[in-house]
Amino acid sequence: MFYTELSNRLGIPTINWDTSDLDGSGIPDSWEVALLKKVLCQSVVYWRLDATCVYLENLSKIRTEPQYELWLQPYEHVIAGLLSISSEFQSAFSVLNLVNEYQTIKNNEKTVDETLSGRGDADRDGYSNRTEYNNCINFGLGQNDFLIVVLHPDLDGTEAPQDALTISQGMQILFYSLLIMILGLVLLLSPRLSLHRK
69/163 with CB nearer Ca ion: 163
Q: What is the closest distance, in whole angstroms, from the C-beta atom of residue 38 to Ca ion in the complex?
A: 13
- Scanning 49-57, 117-125, 167-175, 180-188 for contacts with Ca ion by CB under 5 A, the matching segment is 117-125
Please select the residue that binds Ca ion; options are 125, 130, 160, 165, rule is CB under 5 A: 125
Q: What is the closest distance, in whole angstroms, from the C-beta atom of residue 76 to Ca ion in the complex?
A: 29
Contact mark string toward Ca ion, 154..193, x via CB under 5 A: -x--------------------------------------
- Scanning 8-16, 26-34, 87-95, 152-160 for contacts with Ca ion by CB under 5 A, the matching segment is 152-160
50 is a site residue for Ca ion (CB under 5 A) = no
Q: Hey, what's the torsion of the CAs at 107, 110, 113, 117, to 10 degrees?
A: 20
Q: What is the closest distance, in whole angstroms, from the C-beta atom of residue 121 to Ca ion in the complex?
A: 4
Q: Hey, what's the torsion of the CAs at 26, 31, 34, 39, to 10 degrees?
A: -40
15/35 with CB nearer Ca ion: 35
127 is a site residue for Ca ion (CB under 5 A) = yes
Specify the long-range contacts of residues 105-108, CB closer than 8 Å, at least 24 apart: 105/36, 105/47, 105/50, 105/51, 105/54, 105/55, 107/47, 108/47, 108/50
